[in-house]
Structure 1
Amino acid sequence: MIKKILLVAFIAFGTLAMVGQTTVTGTVKDAKTGDLLPGANIKISRKAVGTSTDFDGNFVLTVTEKPPFTIEVSMIGFQTKSAEITKNNQKVEITLTENETSLDEIVVSASRTPERIMESPVTVERMDARAIKNTSSPSFYDGLENLKGVDVNTNSLTFKSVNTRGFATFANTRFMQLVDGMDNSSPALNFALGNLLGMSELDVKTVELLPGASSALYGANAFNGIMFMTSKSAFDDQGISISLKGGITSQEAGGDNGYKDFNIRMAHAFSNKFAAKATLSYLDGTEWYATDYRNTANGEYTSGDRNSDRNYDGLNIYGDEVSTNIRGVAQTLEGLGLIPGGASALVPSENISRTGYDERDLMTYEAKSVKFGTSLNYRPFGNDRLEIIWNSKFGVGNTIYQGINRYNIKDFFMEQHKLEIRGKNFFVRGYMTNEDAGNSFDTRFAAININRAWKGDTTWFGQYTGAYLQGTLGGLTSDQAHALARQTAETGRFLPGTPEFQAAFDKVTADPDLVSGSKFQDATKYYHTDANYNFQDYIDWAEIQVGGSYRLYSLNSNGSIFTDYDGPIEYNEYGVYTQLQKKFLEDDRLKLTASMRYDKAQNFDGNVSPRMSLAYAAGEDKNQNFRASFQTGFRNPTTQDQYIGLNAGRAFLVGGAPDNLDRFTTPALSVSGAGQAITGSSSVGVSGRQAYENSFSAASVINGTFQKANITLVAPEKVAAYEVGYRGLLEAGEQRVTVDLSVYYNSYEDFISGKNVVVPFYGTVGDNSLSLFALQNGDYTAFQTYTNSAADISSYGASIGLNTTVFDGFNLGLNYTYAKFDFDQASDPDFEAGFNTPEHKVKLQFGKTELFKNFGFNVNVRWQDEYLWESTFMDATIDARTVVDAQVNYSIPSFKSIIKLGAANLMGQEYLSAPGVGAIGSQYYLSWTINN
């Protein structure tokens, strides 16, 4: 297919006529060492025509361009140099100067304009192709964890959640991830599924990461941070590159399992006007098995197992959440005349849970990812002053996502298509993101409904209670009677591995109705357009930019996630912004950057987001840089915050958009005998409006105060962020140390949170005793509502990074991050902050790119202290850990190849990134990359 596209494009656009040729020869050397540099890029300035040096550092460039013209010579880690070509057969010798420090690298994301990291007005972390080559992690995406101030939480082998500055979850809706300008978050889930629809490692040009609020330039949801992944140009980076990677993952629960990762990139410029590229990535492996069977029957880790606790609820066991009080069952049987009168008094008032299924009996644990991307690039004038780009990305794969439940994401498909026009000072782009949940399913409901497929809850608990009573009357002790009761109720149970179990599993996981099935059904999409213009060619006293964006959501889950029972739900949001950047003082040492953005979402009032920063460059070479900034961020409620309507088993989830409250009603819920006298019915449906307007705070029900919940409709959350920092180069004799220091303070307002409430089937909360009577008789249900916390919440922290060379050229890097938050729980007892971030983190890097000829190595060590993880799935303390990654690599210049042998978690000490996920073991890999 790609060949056909390229052939059609070739015919359509043609190539330049061969009217004459100019040949340029030369060599490229390292200015400091005099060594020849293989792989340096040589091209005509502002055009796609070029070549690269061979393994001896020599090049031959043959072009149709007539002298005079300018060639540009560049190489990662070196400063670009130009040379004037004045005649045919000219021979040149180019010496490239290595960047003195990583702070000399150029970034664009901080201000939407090129500038040195050293002079950026805000904190920036960066990774380029050279850093990817040297990373000890199995992939560039895993390698992000080695950056200063960055947290990577491992949901599964193929799903890593990137976060900065606290409030981390796997559903990380406070952090944006852009790939070539496209937000690649899932339209329904509202966060990026790691690198599922990301970028092939071979196609990564740079990764830039801005910790902290960035809403002034990038709009809603650039709240805790934003990451930009930029791909290589089809014009500037031509040829075929291939990467073959294989190895094993090793885990105590899952054993040793093979994995493979294949990447290929092809790019070609057919002329100065037309180029195309295509990338393909394929990964296959085994996920980390989740086997935490500790008892959580009380909502926290507690003692006991299935043998000792008859209401046992194992963390990674599902279906055992279904529990009831057997005395209540006995009273119902007694009322129906199925057991003798008064016999219910012999049955203890004790909660009993059904027997569940282990997660490993439900999950396939097959990790798979297939990504395909293509772009067609057209330059009407034969140079980079104007370029039209069509870009398409497709991703399909399997992974695991942990939210309120654990989801087996299987055959999940996402696609993005973008048309972009960009020039020297502007860009306009529009793109569409579409997804299909494929065969994904909720493991908790899979287990619950497989249990119900062989025996319904009413029958199971009825048999249990009847057998218990029979055993007691027969003279058995209580423990013996309970053992008999479970044995009797379990008759007919589908055992994993049997045809009966498999048939029930297949049926349940194909059914999107959570009353009987578990399938995760979704085909949500969104359309997005944005534009930016820089007036630098028309205004010389300052650099002024303006821009805007528009997004339209179309929610389409057929009522399985959202309340879109009668068709897709559509809503929109838009924003406009401007930025002024002005330099002052001698040599432009002082730089002022001021931005302002206005955003409006359909269901909410508009938000204004200002940002202002000052950066001052001191020192003779401007190598001592100080900065201070103030900026605001905001986050619109997500699609789920607004329109979810979902039975999650333990509670019903209902979104807080004004038009959503009456869209959702629970399935029919059973009413007790006492309640039937009031309602006149044996079942009721509870609406979302009741959850918001007639409910008890869950915390007050637990502590016995029975307070009205007073839930407000969800609204945007805001943050005011303050930061000061220093970047500089310290020198003592020949020793040079780069320093990057930042300190921040964030103050949050209207923090979006889920609050648990209890809704009585009858009565008015706070006005009469009927609502309390409903609680007493079990005539109530639990909801999780989406609202905002009125509590004062703040977070603060600092980070410092030091980099230098020691022992004659060994690279040494050390960074430390401190993160803390303040919150008065008493001011909002139902609010769960979910900061989920270690207070202290230390990261160390040591290596050398040229230990001896063509051989290099790198070691990364990460330590973090223990911290509390809070989520709807489980709250628990995560232990402190130390993780060591290492790699050695060997370059073969004549084949433009790099062979790398590496290991992640080399010490083999397994660890958890959150309660409920699989313990992370070791990963060993061998890769061969051929880069043309």
Structure 2
Amino acid sequence: MSKTFTRAIFALSMLFFTASFAQGQSVTISGIIKDKATKEPMPGVGVTIKGRTTATSTNSAGRFSLSTTEKAPFTIVITYVGYTTVEKEITGSTSSLDLEIEAGVTLGQDVVISASRTPERILESPVTVERMGVNAIKEISAPSFYDALNNMKGVEISTQSLTFKSINTRGFNSNGNTRFNQYVDGMDNQAPGLNFSVGNIVGISDLDLDNVELLPGASSALYGAGGINGTMLMTSKNPFDYQGVSFQFKTGINHVNDDNTGNQEYKQLDVRMAKAWGNKFAIKGTFSFLQAQDWQADNYNNFDRTSRTVKSGNRVTDPNYDGVNVYGDETNSNILSVSRSLQQGFAAASPAGFAAFNNLIGSGASYANLVTAINTNPVYATLRPALPYLGVLYSLNKNTTSSQDVSRTGYNEANLVDYDTESMKMSGSMHYRFSPTIEAIAQLNWGTGTSVYTGSDRYSLRNFNIGQYKLELKGQDFFVRAYTTQERSGDSYISSILGSFINEAYKPSVGPAANPTSGWFAQYALAYSTARAQGATDEVAHNAARGVADQGRLMPGTTQFNTVKNGIANATISSGQGAKFDDKTNLYHYEGMYNLSNALNNVFELQVGGSYRIYQLRSGGTIFDDLTRDLNIDEYGAYAQLSKKLFQEKFKLSVSGRYDKSTNFDGRFTPRISGVFTVAPNNNIRVSYQTGYRNPTTQNQYIDLSVAGGRQRLIGGLPESLNKYNLFTNKPYTDASYRAYLTSVSTGAPNRALLQTYDFDARGVRPESVQAYEVGYKGLLGPRFLIDTYAYYNTYKDFITAVDVYQENPANNFPKFGVPVNAKGEVTSYGAALGIDYLMGDYNVSGNVSYNEIGDLPAEYINDFNTPKVRYNLGLGNKEVIKNIGFNVNYRWQDGFYWNSSFSSGEVPSFSTLDAQINLKIPSVKSMIKVGGSNILNKYYFTSYGNPSVGALYYIGFTYNP
């Protein structure tokens, strides 16, 4: 690390230390809040200074502490969902403020931080915010809070496996979504090398989660690069506020009525321990372990990787069958071309034999008579060793050899990846309070597991692990933090490469020059031609040829298959003989923020902050172009936000902006302007203009990876990557024109005039940006009815997409490249959503509906909006329908849509799911028993094409001290 940067960090730290201790005389109030009827302490109660942004909440013992530079007297507001709001005047510091609140019917009183990076009531947020608090987490019907995010307005999830899911809002969903930020206690939760968020693998357990806040739409003005479609903040419980021992054990079954596996057991254990000594020092530790049989991807539809569409046919009816979740069958060749190559090879190796065969064929005799003559007539004895070539020459002469692409026989995903899902994660932290408002934190989060992830391929993640380590100093008005993310791919490998190399292990696709007929395609062509020469139909000839070529094929489940499979899976891609990627990428991040509002006596609100980030890409050439060099990417940025209440505090105007710079790209400024107008008490209209941008991911910049069984190479879009493969000088051909050319070849009349070159932008791939307009309303229509609605319009520029191109090389082959590029022109999208909550007695009725649509598209843009037009959620719950018994039910439906990704494309049908739980609270032992399930009607569905279908998961859980 440079001396300049070290000095800058030191200076910034000193600035925050100095400012925090020089804020002037502060008022500190603390106390306990109880339920008026039961006299029990109330956790999670919001405490806010009236008319200001300063806020806190009570801990598990109902205690709170709040410090402010606000001059006394002032008023604090105590709010909690389902209870009547209480206001209390404060005349000075106090440590024994005991208050009671009574049950009422109040909604919309949650305090959020994400929208403005400062506490404020969710009703007054300048942008749309979805929130899940600690009490809602205990009542969810889904197996985990992460699964329950689907119930939020406008939120959708792409499920790649049981423990791997990607969150998205407002369109352009993808596997391992890189347009959506996830933060855990302020740490970016994205794997820096593999480019997916790991909230389910290395995240927060339900026991330790305090709250989730989710911002749909652009959020770069406050959170920097990324988050072009949304940002989610997950916050764990502070050990000062939530002490003691908690544990949860959950067991159940899934794969009910699943022909692939039959019923399978699901087990999960969560433990949390926290202890504080006075109000100075506290520690916390958590442990979580999950074990289950994963959902299996079994889409065997025939996928045309050239046109990227599903076509009819299966392995029996289509010689070029390529199953979506079948690997190794990506390797193919044209049988007519192979036959002609064999013909040319035989003519060169044996001119006399070649001439003799042609003379015999020219005699007009049938193939059977020719074979008999050669085998019985001594004159032709020298031709007998070359008899296998006779069928090829005969069929070519009679024009019975079809110009048909033929693929190798692949292996189903279930035979290649590890479905024995495990997830183990642990975290620990130490907290020290210098004062009631200044706290130092040392924290580690670490997790490992086995799962399956969908990117440009299906990746079997085995013993994959990520560690995040953080040091932070925070106060009421500031924070300074530094953390690192350490990614280790363990024994992970790529399924299609594994399938292809298993095929090559028992029989190479192309034999060596000394023995060309030992190759799989050569044997196929020889057997096919012989069958055709004998009068077989084309279909019969192809099936017979496959039987011959597949002789010796390694069969799943055998010792020989497993030995070869394990050898390939444990050899790295860079060795040229393996499927394993060896990623050891690290991220280092430093940031700080200061809120000057209190120092300015709240005349207006002002925040400033900055960040610096380093990516160290280390894959040993198995993912990135880093086999012989180290790759580093630096990013830095700074932001400011100014807010002021106007017109007798009826209107709050906020203006913010951020400047960011990355190693490979020009700096850019992202502003945000928002206004919140209070039309009536607890009723607000919000309007915002936001901008967001996303740098090309680390893989967009530097990937250099063979996929699809070696048929395609993915490369970064930077000019240096394009130059490495001479794509500027030896210009490749577009995908559409190359397919047209192949069609002409198959007719026997190649037409090179059909080939059209693709011109890459000399600047290479660049950041994409969005301009987002939103108008919304959130308000209480009486104490029992909360409504939240919004409409948005987004315009994307330089949208990052990808192109497939084919480059002709000196051997007259056309290797395929997949390259990230920026779409020309603008891409627009728009949508709206409506959410309601209604308290009907003790019952909470909720529902939301969202609508998303893609608008204008550039002519060459591949539509990957990947989002249903309409989706809705309905919920019904009661925390205590009868004494100590509560329940929750959630129904979800979404429209069908077309999914397009680098892995596969196809229709995702509409589907609905029903989640439910019933719980029994046992106050005498501070415990709860919950029985429930997700998708309890067991209607299997999939959320994205090529990913597994998801059935029911039924569970029973016991939680102590939730």
1:678 is matched with which residue?
Answer: none
Cα distance per residue 1:845-878 (max 9 Å; x no partner):
1111110111111110111111111111221111
Residue 102 of structure 1 and its aligned partner are, at CA, apart by 3.9
Structure 1 83/372 Cα, relative in aligned 2: closer, same or farther at 3 Å?
farther
Structure 1 476/36 Cα, relative in aligned 2: closer, same or farther at 3 Å?
same
2:844 is matched with which residue?
Answer: 811
Cα distance per residue 1:58-89 (max 9 Å; x no partner):
x9x9xxxxxxxx99999786668889999x9x
Q: Is the 2:899–2:907 Cα contact (8 Å) retained in structure 1?
A: yes
Cα distance per residue 1:18-74 (max 9 Å; x no partner):
xxxxxxxx997545xx34436658999999999966xxx9x9x9xxxxxxxx99999
Residue 602 of structure 1 and its aligned partner are, at CA, apart by 0.9
Q: Does 1:321 align with 2:330?
A: yes
- Which of 722, 736, 744 is residue 792 of structure 2 equivalent to? 744
1:616 is matched with which residue?
Answer: 677
Distance 2:154 2:537 in 1: 59
1:277 is matched with which residue?
Answer: 284
Q: In the alignment, residue 852 of structure 2 is paired with which amino acid? A: A
2:636 is matched with which residue?
Answer: 574
The SS at the match of 2:309 is coil
1:707 is matched with which residue?
Answer: 756
Residue 305 of structure 1 and its aligned partner are, at CA, apart by 1.4
The SS at the match of 2:523 is helix
Q: Is the 2:59–2:241 Cα contact (8 Å) retained in structure 1?
A: no
1:833 is matched with which residue?
Answer: 863
- Which of 288, 297, 311 is residue 290 of structure 1 equivalent to? 297
Q: Is the 2:47–2:78 Cα contact (8 Å) retained in structure 1?
A: no
| Superposed counterparts of 1:330-345, under 5 Å | 330-337=339-346, 339-340=389-390, 342-343=393-394, 344-345=396-397
Cα distance per residue 1:180-218 (max 9 Å; x no partner):
000010011222034211111111111000000010000
Residue 699 of structure 1 and its aligned partner are, at CA, apart by 2.1
1:758 is matched with which residue?
Answer: 806
The SS at the match of 1:661 is helix
Q: Does 1:164 align with 2:194?
A: no
| Superposed counterparts of 1:365-444, under 5 Å | 365-381=419-435, 383=436, 385-444=437-496
Q: In the alignment, residue 171 of structure 1 is paired with which amino acid? A: G
Residue 386 of structure 1 and its aligned partner are, at CA, apart by 1.2
Residue 160 of structure 1 and its aligned partner are, at CA, apart by 1.1
Q: In the alignment, residue 153 of structure 2 is paired with which amino acid? A: K
Residue 120 of structure 1 and its aligned partner are, at CA, apart by 0.4
2:609 is matched with which residue?
Answer: 547
Residue 612 of structure 1 and its aligned partner are, at CA, apart by 0.5
Distance 2:557 2:817 in 1: 35
1:606 is matched with which residue?
Answer: 667
The SS at the match of 1:243 is strand
1:37 is matched with which residue?
Answer: 40
1:680 is matched with which residue?
Answer: none
2:558 is matched with which residue?
Answer: 498
Structure 1 126/91 Cα, relative in aligned 2: closer, same or farther at 3 Å?
closer
2:913 is matched with which residue?
Answer: 883
Q: Is the 1:39–1:75 Cα contact (8 Å) retained in structure 2?
A: no
Q: Is the 1:158–1:194 Cα contact (8 Å) retained in structure 2?
A: no
Q: In the alignment, residue 497 of structure 1 is paired with which amino acid? A: G
Q: Is the 2:885–2:919 Cα contact (8 Å) retained in structure 1?
A: yes
Distance 2:56 2:278 in 1: 8
Q: In the alignment, residue 917 of structure 1 is paired with which amino acid? A: N
Residue 93 of structure 1 and its aligned partner are, at CA, apart by 7.2
Structure 1 28/796 Cα, relative in aligned 2: closer, same or farther at 3 Å?
closer
CA RMSD of aligned residues (A): 2.9
Q: Does 1:781 align with 2:815?
A: yes
1:667 is matched with which residue?
Answer: none
| Superposed counterparts of 1:605-754, under 5 Å | 605-619=666-680, 622-649=681-708, 650-663=711-724, 687=725, 689-690=726-727, 694-703=731-740, 705-712=754-761, 713-731=764-782, 736-754=784-802
Structure 1 114/50 Cα, relative in aligned 2: closer, same or farther at 3 Å?
closer
1:264 is matched with which residue?
Answer: 271
Distance 1:790 1:240 in 2: 56
Residue 537 of structure 1 and its aligned partner are, at CA, apart by 2.8
Q: In the alignment, residue 555 of structure 1 is paired with which amino acid? A: L
The SS at the match of 1:415 is strand
The SS at the match of 1:296 is strand
| Superposed counterparts of 1:137-156, under 5 Å | 137-156=142-161
Residue 273 of structure 1 and its aligned partner are, at CA, apart by 1.5
1:453 is matched with which residue?
Answer: 505
Q: Does 1:868 align with 2:898?
A: yes
Aligned pairs, how many? 841
Structure 1 242/466 Cα, relative in aligned 2: closer, same or farther at 3 Å?
same
Distance 1:786 1:154 in 2: 24
| Superposed counterparts of 1:897-912, under 5 Å | 897-912=927-942
Distance 2:57 2:934 in 1: 40
- Which of 812, 816, 823 is residue 856 of structure 2 equivalent to? 823
Q: Is the 1:598–1:608 Cα contact (8 Å) retained in structure 2?
A: yes
Q: Is the 1:43–1:71 Cα contact (8 Å) retained in structure 2?
A: no
Structure 1 43/914 Cα, relative in aligned 2: closer, same or farther at 3 Å?
closer
Show structure 2 runs of 5+ residues with no match: 1-30, 49-53, 66-74, 347-385, 511-518, 742-753
Residue 742 of structure 1 and its aligned partner are, at CA, apart by 0.6
The SS at the match of 1:446 is helix
Q: Is the 2:319–2:406 Cα contact (8 Å) retained in structure 1?
A: yes
Bigger drift between 339-348 and 641-650 goes to 339-348
Q: Does 1:303 align with 2:364?
A: no
Structure 1 288/637 Cα, relative in aligned 2: closer, same or farther at 3 Å?
same
Q: Is the 2:418–2:451 Cα contact (8 Å) retained in structure 1?
A: no
The SS at the match of 2:829 is strand
Cα distance per residue 1:510-535 (max 9 Å; x no partner):
11127422112200111001110111
Residue 703 of structure 1 and its aligned partner are, at CA, apart by 4.4
Show structure 1 runs of 5+ residues with no match: 1-25, 62-69, 664-686, 763-773
2:618 is matched with which residue?
Answer: 556
Q: Is the 2:730–2:807 Cα contact (8 Å) retained in structure 1?
A: no
Percent identity over the alignment is 41
Distance 2:345 2:688 in 1: 72
Bigger drift between 308-317 and 793-802 goes to 308-317
Distance 1:498 1:457 in 2: 22
The SS at the match of 1:336 is helix
Structure 1 71/929 Cα, relative in aligned 2: closer, same or farther at 3 Å?
farther
The SS at the match of 1:702 is helix
Residue 250 of structure 1 and its aligned partner are, at CA, apart by 2.4
- Which of 220, 228, 242 is residue 223 of structure 1 equivalent to? 228
Structure 1 746/570 Cα, relative in aligned 2: closer, same or farther at 3 Å?
same
Residue 646 of structure 1 and its aligned partner are, at CA, apart by 0.8
Q: Does 1:481 align with 2:484?
A: no
Q: Is the 2:81–2:105 Cα contact (8 Å) retained in structure 1?
A: no
TM-score in terms of structure 2 length: 0.83
Q: Is the 1:693–1:710 Cα contact (8 Å) retained in structure 2?
A: no
TM-score in terms of structure 1 length: 0.86
Residue 908 of structure 1 and its aligned partner are, at CA, apart by 1.3
